[in-house]
């Protein structure tokens, strides 16, 4: 595998998991505050760019659907990384894209993360 592609996959995995953890905490706080019925929540784009500060407004229900799907992440349209992930859904009402890391790429994520941590 091309080393630059491997590094992009490693960075994508690390960043997307970090942003997912932040977004899960936001969703949990919103749920406890009974916000799901009132308004969309604002979560962080889960793209590979660690410096990305874009946010996405999404209902708690929609976020939970994406969160339940293995290896699915929420990104601002245009932040998709086609050589590492596949766009599986686009929404226009509250603009966002859901991207999957295909199974062939997902199976390498734990190893990629382990090599990043040990480096």
Q: What is the pLDDT of residues 55-89, one digit of tens each?
A: 998 888 888 888 888 788 888 888 888 877 888 88
| Structural domain count of the chain | 1
How far, in Å, CA of 58 to CA of 75, rounded?
11
pLDDT at position 54 is 92
**Domain housing 79:** 3-118
pLDDT bucket at 118, cuts 50 / 70 / 90 = very low
Listing from the earlier edge strand, what are the strands of the sheet with 86-91?
A: 72-75, 96-100, 86-91
């Amino acid at each position: 595998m091309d080393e630059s592609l491997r590094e992009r996959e490693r960075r994508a995995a690390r960043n997307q998991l970090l942003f997912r953890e932040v977004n899960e905490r936001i969703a949990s706080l919103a749920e406890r505050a009974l916000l799901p019925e009132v308004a969309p929540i604002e979560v962080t784009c889960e793209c590979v760019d660690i410096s990305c500060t874009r946010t996405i407004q999404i209902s708690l229900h929609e976020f939970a659907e994406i969160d339940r799907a293995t290896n699915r992440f929420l990104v601002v349209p245009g932040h998709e990384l086609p050589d590492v992930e596949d766009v599986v859904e686009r929404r226009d009402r509250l603009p966002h894209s859901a991207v999957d890391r295909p199974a062939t790429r997902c199976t390498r994520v734990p190893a990629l993360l382990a090599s990043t941590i040990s480096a």
